[in-house]
């Protein structure tokens, strides 16, 4: 494998996207016990050593300037993570877009387009088109080409790059790194032994760290997460922001939006194909919803007619009134589907943290204006 390679992220080639993701998490977290599980973790650890060597070499080439980064004529803000999936990049990207709009800027979006089935784009593109209506979005494995295409076809003053922390070929002016408070450091191992895309010292490249789902962790846990971040990257001591994902309503497949009260009295079957389904269930329970049961599918799952039949059979068996899913799943379901999706928004409950984000983005845009 070419350590410098490539238009895509090396971690994409090793993520457990085609296996039973929930069984995989149970294995690497240590919840699955026994001799077979021990041996499996040993093999995965050996594979992680090879993966880590490639990642370190690749990052070293960029750090030493032996691999060039191409710079966009407008500021690029990356919303990424250091572990695989499930940190909430899409709602945070939408939050950053809104902040840029509040400053009077015309933002655009670029992303890789992971697991797109057709020209309409993947689930992230479809969700962002709902959360950020009218914002131009281009998907390409080569993010520089995506930016170039965006700038040639639209008037864009800043670009938000979704899932771009490991895509180092494109220079970014601001790196936002998301860490999920419920599984912060990928069980402390690199892929495939754990969920880390790169060693934790990669956080030294970050400008801000946003700890998502902070409301699902205790104060002691959040303090421990912050301390571990600072131990690796001391410059982030006052640049760690706490983010919550709050339910703001429900959406139907036809685009109709209603208040959360619409489903509050129903017995609900939860379904999802996301990286962290247990966090979705916890959010639903904290919102006061009645959960009859759940069905989890692999991350980025595309639903088949057989899946829909199985879901309906399970709904009937559980005597559930409604099937509730995520917005990321809903956009991949038929328009005549009767499922509903929980719509969430990223929020920074601490006013000081909101100010840090807004000030950082304002400084970035002011620097760009002065340079031009």
Q: What is the pLDDT of residues 148-200, one digit of tens each?
A: 999 999 999 999 999 999 999 999 999 999 999 999 999 999 999 999 999 99
User: Does residue 14 carry a pLDDT above 90?
Assistant: no
- The residue that leads in pLDDT, 84 or 225, is 225
The stretch 124-129 carries a mean pLDDT of 87
Look at residue 119 in the predicted model and tell me its pLDDT. Answer: 53
pLDDT mean across residues, the chain: 90
Look at residue 370 in the predicted model and tell me its pLDDT. Answer: 65
Highest mean pLDDT among 124-138, 205-219, 299-313: 205-219
Domain-by-domain residue ranges, the chain?
A: 76-243+348-371, 247-344
Is the alpha carbon torsion for 107, 9, 216, 341 positive or negative?
positive
Distance, CA of 60 to CA of 4 (rounded, Å): 10
pLDDT tens per residue across span 209-239? 999 999 999 999 999 999 999 999 999 999 9
Distance, CA of 258 to CA of 138 (rounded, Å): 29
The strand pairing partners of 170, in sequence order, are 70
Highest mean pLDDT among 119-123, 127-131, 197-201: 197-201
Percent of the chain with pLDDT over 90: 79
Look at residue 23 in the predicted model and tell me its pLDDT. Answer: 85
pLDDT tens per residue across span 241-252? 999 999 999 998
Q: Are 139 and 112 in contact (CB under 8 A)?
A: yes
Question: Topology of 76-243+348-371 in CATH?
Answer: Rossmann fold (3.40.50)
User: Does residue 372 carry a pLDDT above 80?
Assistant: no
Distance, CA of 106 to CA of 95 (rounded, Å): 14
């Amino acid at each position: 494998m070419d350590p410098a390679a490539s238009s895509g992220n090396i971690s994409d080639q090793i993520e457990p996207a085609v296996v039973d993701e929930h069984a995989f998490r149970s294995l690497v977290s240590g919840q699955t016990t026994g001799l077979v599980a021990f041996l499996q973790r040993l093999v995965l650890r050996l594979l992680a050593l090879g993966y880590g060597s490639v990642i370190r070499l690749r990052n070293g080439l960029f750090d030493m300037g032996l691999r060039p980064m191409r710079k966009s004529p407008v500021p690029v803000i990356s919303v990424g993570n250091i572990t695989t999936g499930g940190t909430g990049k899409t709602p945070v990207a939408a939050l950053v877009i809104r902040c840029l709009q509040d400053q009077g800027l015309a933002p655009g979006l670029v992303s890789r387009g992971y697991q797109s089935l057709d020209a309409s784009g993947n689930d992230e593109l479809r969700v962002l088109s709902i959360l950020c209506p009218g914002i131009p979005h281009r998907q390409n494995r080569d993010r520089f080409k995506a930016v170039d295409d965006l700038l040639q076809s639209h008037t864009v003053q800043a670009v938000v790059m979704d899932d771009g922390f490991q895509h180092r070929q494109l220079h970014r002016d601001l790196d936002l790194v998301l860490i999920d408070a419920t599984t912060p450091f990928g069980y402390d191992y690199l892929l495939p032994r754990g969920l880390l895309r790169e060693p934790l010292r990669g956080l030294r490249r970050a400008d801000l760290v946003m700890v998502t789902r902070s409301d699902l962790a205790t104060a002691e846990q959040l303090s421990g997460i912050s301390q571990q971040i600072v131990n690796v990257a001391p410059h982030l001591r006052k640049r760690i922001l706490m983010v919550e994902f709050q339910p703001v309503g429900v959406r139907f497949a036809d685009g109709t939006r209603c208040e959360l009260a619409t489903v509050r009295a129903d017995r609900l079957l939860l379904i999802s194909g996301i990286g962290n389904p247990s966090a979705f269930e916890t959010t639903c329970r904290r919102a006061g919803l009645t959960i009859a049961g759940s069905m989890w599918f692999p991350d980025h799952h595309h639903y088949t007619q057989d899946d829909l039949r199985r879901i309906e059979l399970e709904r009937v068996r559980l005597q559930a009134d409604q099937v509730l899913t995520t917005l990321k799943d809903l956009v991949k379901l038929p328009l005549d589907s009767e499922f509903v999706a929980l719509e969430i928004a990223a929020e920074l409950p601490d006013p000081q943290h909101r100010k840090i984000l807004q000030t950082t983005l304002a400084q970035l845009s002011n620097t760009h204006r002065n340079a031009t």
